[in-house]
Chain A
Amino acid sequence: SYELTQPPSVSVYPGQTANITCSGDKLGHKYAYWYQQNPGQSPVLVIYQDRKRPSGIPERFSGSNSGNTATLTISGTQAIDEADYYCQTWDSSTGVFGAGTKLTVL
């Protein structure tokens, strides 16, 4: 079965850039999606189709996807960005999530 690999944790200082990676076999040939989840809340879509931002998502969130790795980039990270982030893709119509990355804003 298809697998997506994320680092368990990423730390960043306020104002710096956070990069969260998601790796999978030929992931660049598929679309990658990113979700933000705060404690006790439902996930929120922050990036879809590799690099598109839904309405209401700040411009500091961006995405890329090439080769075997998709990356969620948060520029000028703020304290409110501290959350769990999950990547997701579809493999033969089957949904696949990464294990999640906890972003800590120091």
Chain B
Amino acid sequence: QVQLQESGPGLVKPSETLSLTCSISGGFISDYYWTWVRQPPGKGLEWIGYISYNGDTNYNPSLKSRVTISLGTSKNHFSLKLNSVTAADTAVYYCARVTGPPVLGSGALDYWGQGILITVSS
């Protein structure tokens, strides 16, 4: 059974960089795509971006200038960096596994982490 766990600081100051890690247990990065999704308090889901097992990435156009998703040095984690954060970036951040290549439109988000609340405040 694949399990995902987000980790990172719960509080980030405005203008600084938000850094999160998603740790994968019960599986490996190989053969899948991996994605980040966020949800502001009381609002809907927003797709942030994905990374493939070989490092290919694609980002939400509205966040592209501030986002970087990367693979970890080991085969069981990947990371999210979002720079120049503002209060509008306050949200629960989820990592999830994508079952197929998004370019083919065939990828479902089948395993999700429990989410981590990130608050942007001074």
Contact = CB atoms under 8 A, between A and B. Distances in A.
Interface of A: 1, 30-31, 33, 35, 37, 42-45, 48-49, 54, 86, 88-90, 93-100
A95 B47 contact: yes
Interface stretch (B21-29, B78-86, B107-115): B107-115
A37 B37 CA distance: 13
Given A31-B105, A35-B109, A97 B58 contact: no
Given A45-B110, A100-B44, 11 more contacts: A1-B61, A1-B62, A31-B106, A35-B45, A42-B113, A86-B45, A90-B107, A94-B47, A95-B35, A97-B44, A100-B45
Contacts of B47: 88, 94-97
B44 A43 contact: no
Contact of A93 (B94, B103, B108, B110): B103
Nearest to A30: B105
- What is the predominant secondary structure among interface residues of chain A facing chain B? strand
Contacts, number: 65
Interface in B74-122: 94, 99, 102-103, 105-110, 112-115
A44 B106 CA distance: 17
B34 interface: no
Given A90-B105, A97-B45, A42 B115 contact: yes
Contacts of B109: 33, 35, 43, 45, 88
19 contacts: A31-B106, A43-B45, A43-B112, A45-B110, A48-B99, A49-B108, A86-B45, A94-B47, A94-B58, A94-B60, A94-B61, A95-B35, A96-B47, A97-B44, A97-B45, A97-B46, A97-B47, A99-B44, A100-B44
